[in-house]
Amino acid sequence: MPPMRVIVLGGGVSGLSCGVRLLEAGYLVDLWARELSPNTTSDVAAAIWYPYRAFPQERVTRWGARTFEVLSELARQPGTGVRCIPGLELRREPAADPWWRPCVSRFRHATPEELRPGYADGFVFEVPVIDMSRYLPYLMERFRGLGGRVVQREVRSLEEAWAESDQVVNCTGLGSRSLVGDTSLVPIRGQVVRVAPLGEPRFLLDEDETRGMTYVIPRGEECILGGTAEEGRASLEPEPAQAEAILERAARLLPTGTRLHVLGHRVGLRPGRPSVRLEVERHGGRLVLHDYGHGGSGVTLSWGCAEEGVSLLERARQETAHVGPVANPSITGSSDGT
């Protein structure tokens, strides 16, 4: 079949990853986005490979495993902003291996000497950590280098994109609430504190949300301390009280006497949804691939979702060519049932 033009909506990690894979598959791709890096939600991400607030588990495991592979490959290339580092996730009670265990390499339970006071168990493993200030420009350069075109514009309806191409990819995250009327999307507010590098290139995690989730993620010239997960809150203003609580929780995980030099504060809104939406819809002879609702796992699932999404779009395109336009909208490929 001849090359087809596709319009990708969204300039974050999902949109750029989809754009790259579409270009590599032979499509002509335009990316439309209201915001580009450094002003996207992806720019605020702590950006460690770790499945968080994304469902369903079976599909997330598959997408996450594939993304782990791709990011690990990128970690071996200079200039990507990706590196693989070891770390420790702490547990207050003895714990079985996590469900995502098959996705990662070099996994083991922590020894008693490695645990912090008050913790009964822990996981030691190695994962990609991504400096988004370098990774997003890398993706953009790769996208443009493959022939992709970027247009900074706000899109209020799919009709605007369909006026230019019959094939659209929707990677607008929380924007899909207004763009396609998806009321199941909710913001999950995340606040982080940027501090000066702490020396040891090792991440620390405590996902106990009853006490307040805590993470310490080294990222080259800075370290990210977090965080919060406030479902339904959409404020982008950093809150001093939350910042102080984040610093206090992080200090409990770090060696006694560690000095924290604050560089700044950031807030982002994760696109929360009961399940990730990765599916193709037909509207007559027009197609839209939805790829959004990744919760706190946008980076973690990016390449897996992009690759499966391109396959779904290609299959839908071939089916449409064979059977012609469909009178009523229908779903192609895997659906989350919404």
Residue 21 belongs to a domain with what CATH number? 3.40.50.720
Annotated binding site: 41-42, 155, 172, 215, 270, 295-300
337 located within any domain: no
329 located within any domain: no
Q: Dig out the tokens for 48 from the structure.
A: 């460690």
**What is the per-residue pLDDT for 320?**
78
**What is the per-residue pLDDT for 325?**
52
d(CA 1, CA 202): 48
Q: Dig out the tokens for 256 from the structure.
A: 């006694």
What spatial distance separates the first Cα and last Cα of the chain, rounded to whole Å? 31
Residues ≥6 apart with Cβ < 8 Å to 160: none
**What is the per-residue pLDDT for 268?**
95
Annotated binding site for D-dopa: 215, 270, 296
Within 10 Å of residue 92's Cβ, how many Cβ atoms?
14
Nearest partner of 29 among 39, 17, 46, judged by Cα: 17
Report helix, strand or coil for 53.
coil
Annotated binding site for FAD: 41-42, 155, 172, 295-300
d(CA 36, CA 147): 18
Global pTM value? 0.93
159 located within any domain: yes
**What is the per-residue pLDDT for 201?**
85
> How many independent structural domains does the chain possess?
1
334 located within any domain: no
Helix and strand element counts for the chain (H, E): 8, 16
178 located within any domain: yes
Backbone angles phi and psi of 25, in degrees to 5: -85, 0
Residuewise pLDDT in 10s, the chain (338 residues): 567 899 999 999 999 999 999 999 999 999 999 999 999 999 999 899 999 989 999 999 999 999 999 999 999 999 999 999 999 999 999 999 999 999 998 999 999 999 999 999 999 999 999 999 999 999 999 999 999 999 999 999 999 999 999 999 999 999 999 999 999 999 999 999 999 999 888 999 998 756 778 999 998 889 999 999 999 999 999 999 999 999 999 999 999 999 999 999 999 999 999 999 999 999 988 999 999 999 999 999 999 999 999 999 999 988 877 655 544 343 334 433 33
Nearest partner of 55 among 46, 47, 64, judged by Cα: 64
Q: Are 173 and 14 in contact (CB under 8 A)?
A: yes
Can you give the residue range of the structural domain that contains 218?
A: 5-322
49 located within any domain: yes
332 located within any domain: no
284 located within any domain: yes
Angle between helices 298-323 and 57-74 in degrees, nearest 10? 110
